[in-house]
Each structure stands twice: as C-alpha cells, then as structure tokens.
Amino acid sequence: MIGIIGGTGIYEIVEMGKDVETKIIETPYGESPEISIFKLHGKDIAFMPRHAKGHANPPHMINYRANIYAMKKIGVERIIATNAVGSLDLSVKPGDFLIPHDFIDFTKTREFTFYDTKTVHIDITEPYCHDLRNYLIESGEVVPNGVYVCTEGPRFETAAEIAMFKQLGGNVVGMTGIPEAILARELEICYASICMVSNYAASISPTKLTIDEVFEVVEGQKENLVKLISEAITKTPDKRECPCSYALLGAEIDEV
C-alpha cells in the first residue's frame, strides 16, 4: 500500500480514487487523523491529512508518531509526503516542486523516535528513499534534489536564521518534514517528499510574507501536484528493492 501524507492542497487526490472508505486508527500514541483508503491505478492508496481536517494542528503540535504508526498498522510500505516550503535560493521559485535528498533538523520539542525504551541507532545517511524519489523525479517537472531545513515554527524565520541555513547548505525551509522522515525509516517505510515552494523565505524575498500569499501559490499548483503524485503511483512497482525495508537490521544495540 502507498501512503500519501498531505498538507494543504492535495485532498483532491482522494476524488480520483475508487472504493473510498475512511478509517481512524488507534495507536499507542493516540488516534490518527481520518485516513481515506482507496484504489488508484489498480493500487491501494491511503491518504492522511497531516494536520487533521481543517488545519486543526499547527506544525509543532502534530502527533507525528501516531500518524506514521497508523500508516504502518494499515500496511503502508511507502509514503509520499507533501510539504509547503519557503525557498532559500532565488533560482528555486514559488510554484516549483523540489524533491529533497537530505535534511537538516532544527526542530526543538517534537517526539522524534519510536525507541524510547531500547537503543536503536537507525542509519539515516540517505534519509529519503532513493527509489521513491526517482519515481517522483521521473513523473513531472521538478527540482530533482535539495536540502530541506526543518524549523519548529509556527513562526516564520528571522533574516539571520535564513542566512545561516543558506550557509549550511539548505535550499528550502519548512516546518512539517521532520520527524516524519525519521519515524518512517524507524518503521522501515520508504519515505520521499515533494516540497512545494510557496514563497521565498524571509529576506530572500523583497516583500513581507503573508499567509494569503502562501495559499495563492498552493491553489495555483494543486492540479499539477495531484498529477505528479498520480503519475508517480503508476511508476511505483509492487515490490520494493531499496534498503528501507530492512533499515532496522543491525541498528539495535543488544543489552549486555
């Protein structure tokens, strides 16, 4: 099963599907948002609205562990996530889609692991699934790599922070991609993200950021985003051949 975790602008993909049913999953971390399960291009798809319906949870309050655990529980093996981002680079423009190949984590207060009671050091050298990224890159016009910087939010960044992120090698900045990518790897789920550039980050853009500006760009790119995901689903083979499926092998430290 392929999971889609969507922020703003992609609920429409469910309308393309057949035999839609909805489920709320109980997890040890709490209830999941309502997940829509359906068939698309002959494949089983599960769509989860990251913020729950109507943007109920701001980025730092999302129950990431419940979300990813619920996906695992219903049989999701791969997750395509969408994340709204600001661009740190004038050549990556509002409206562009970027498929990140790495991230830098500046979150502060989030529950970021499933392994609090045993020692598991997961390898995350390549945090986004190589194969799943390629299906996305082959499915439409995208910026094929970049470094995603995740901040805690909900405020936007200062000019000094943005200057620092740029120096560190960041290309886009957002608030929702971490710990999702980490938690997925911890449960051996493939994970790739489509970063939708909604604006230039603070001080990169000559004008002040408004939330209206963000929604305007997202609205304009909705259709292309849904098309990109739908195309990537057709390219995704049933069997996985990437190392994500055995990520826990050798990661756990036995008690002495």
User: Is 50 annotated for ligand binding?
Assistant: yes
Q: Which is nearer to Zn ion, 52 or 242 (CB)?
A: 242
Q: Which is nearer to Zn ion, 135 or 200 (CB)?
A: 135
Q: Which is nearer to Zn ion, 209 or 242 (CB)?
A: 242
Kindly state the smallest distance separating residue 198's Cβ from Zn ion, in Å.
27
Give contact residues for Zn ion (rule: CB under 5 A).
129, 190, 242, 244
Structure tokens at 117: 């009671």
Residue matched to tokens 């259709």 = 223
Kindly state the smallest distance separating residue 204's Cβ from Zn ion, in Å.
32
User: Is 163 within 8 Å of 53 (Cβ atoms)?
Assistant: no
User: Which 8-state DSSP code applies to residue 253?
Assistant: P
Kindly state the smallest distance separating residue 93's Cβ from Zn ion, in Å.
29
Q: Give the CA distances from residue 130 to residues 19, 58, 211, 242, in Å, rounded to whole numbers and listed in that order.
A: 31, 29, 33, 7
Q: How far apart are CA 100 and CA 87, in angstroms?
A: 12
Kindly state the smallest distance separating residue 95's Cβ from Zn ion, in Å.
28
User: Is 200 annotated for ligand binding?
Assistant: yes
User: Is 171 annotated for ligand binding?
Assistant: no
Structure tokens at 41: 């291009």
Q: Which is nearer to Zn ion, 66 or 184 (CB)?
A: 184
User: Is 51 annotated for ligand binding?
Assistant: yes
Coil, helix or strand at residue 123: coil
CB neighbour list of residue 65: distance below 8 Å, 6 or more residues apart: 27, 29, 111, 114, 183
Kindly state the smallest distance separating residue 126's Cβ from Zn ion, in Å.
9
User: Is 221 within 8 Å of 198 (Cβ atoms)?
Assistant: no
Q: Which is nearer to Zn ion, 206 or 237 (CB)?
A: 237
Q: Which is nearer to Zn ion, 178 or 247 (CB)?
A: 247
User: Is 175 annotated for ligand binding?
Assistant: yes
User: Is 66 annotated for ligand binding?
Assistant: no
Kindly state the smallest distance separating residue 236's Cβ from Zn ion, in Å.
10
User: Which 8-state DSSP code applies to residue 207?
Assistant: S
CB burial of 217-244 (b: ≥16 within 10 Å; e: otherwise) equals bbeebbeebbebbbebbeebeeebebeb
Output the known binding site for substrate.
175, 199-201
Output the known binding site for phosphate.
8, 50-51, 176
